[in-house]
Structure 1
Amino acid sequence: MTYSQEAGTIRKNGYIVIKGRPCKVVEASTSKLDIVLSSHNCDVPHVNYTDYTFLYIFDDGFVSVLTENGPTKGVKCPPLDESLLTQINL
């Protein structure tokens, strides 16, 4: 689900739909060729955020998190690099 927004109002860490896919804006464009003119409208996805409290990471790539209202939940996460695993397992 998307809504229309002027491209020039989308900022770093915002979202935009490019070629039908939602994309996070991670850096302001410094090139002379932009995807959308700043005065044109573009599609922006509706994004919902949910905060979880991290509890534990399992060897099979799942993490255990505590939901906002109490119960725990298992979530599959992408592969983690060794430096991040070291920080988590302190």
Structure 2
Amino acid sequence: MQDPEFHKADSGASTTYPMQCSSLRKNGHVVLKGRPCKIVEMSTSKTGKHGHAKVHMVGIDIFNGRKYEDICPSTHNMDVPNVTRLDYQLVGLEDGYMSLLKDNGDQKEDLKLPVSDLGKEIQSKFDAGDSFVVTIQTAMGEEAAVGTKVLND
């Protein structure tokens, strides 16, 4: 007889989790049109003659800044992305990619330097020899640099 095989998944193994539309809040996260977004505007319409109260949401994509809108019945579920933010120490910049140091000592070298003002800020801080960390936001299999913090020695 063969031993049963068990698969283990850590918390956050799924990229999204369901949440009732009426429970979503402004400044929270939601998946709109297949993209992870931060809710910037929300309004609820009253129950009509036919059907449910509707929730109108406007969200900004947390990676590319695009605006998305959606309307859903307040009793229906929407997907909410698992969003994580981690700080990594920047140890190098090469060919437009950042070389980041994790807390456990491993290096992460697969993340591009942003082309935005944040990318220029990271480049200038690195060139100046400042000691700082880069905040990396991850959701739905995508990751991007979203900020920096200077380390106090």
- Say yes or no: does 1:23 pair with 2:36: yes
| Alignment-mate amino acid for residue 107 of structure 2 | T
Number of aligned positions between the proteins: 86
Q: Percent identity?
A: 27
| Greater fraction strand | 2
* Residue segments in structure 1 that go unaligned for 5+ positions in a row: none
**Cα offset for 1:37?**
4.7
Deviation of 1:52 after TM superposition, in Å, equals: 1.7
Q: Secondary structure at the match of 1:51?
A: strand
8 Å contact from structure 2 (residues 99, 108) kept in 1: yes
Greater length-normalized contact order (CA 8 Å, ≥ 6 residues apart):
1
Residue 73 of structure 1 pairs with residue 105 of structure 2: no
Structure-2 separation of matches of 1:30 and 1:18? 13
* TM superposition score normalised by structure 1: 0.64
Residues 36 and 42, structure 1, Cα contact 8 Å, conserved in 2: no
**TM-score, scaled relative to structure 2:** 0.43
- Give CA-to-partner distance per residue, 1:3-33, whole Å, 9 cap, x none: 2112343441x321122x23230x5216795
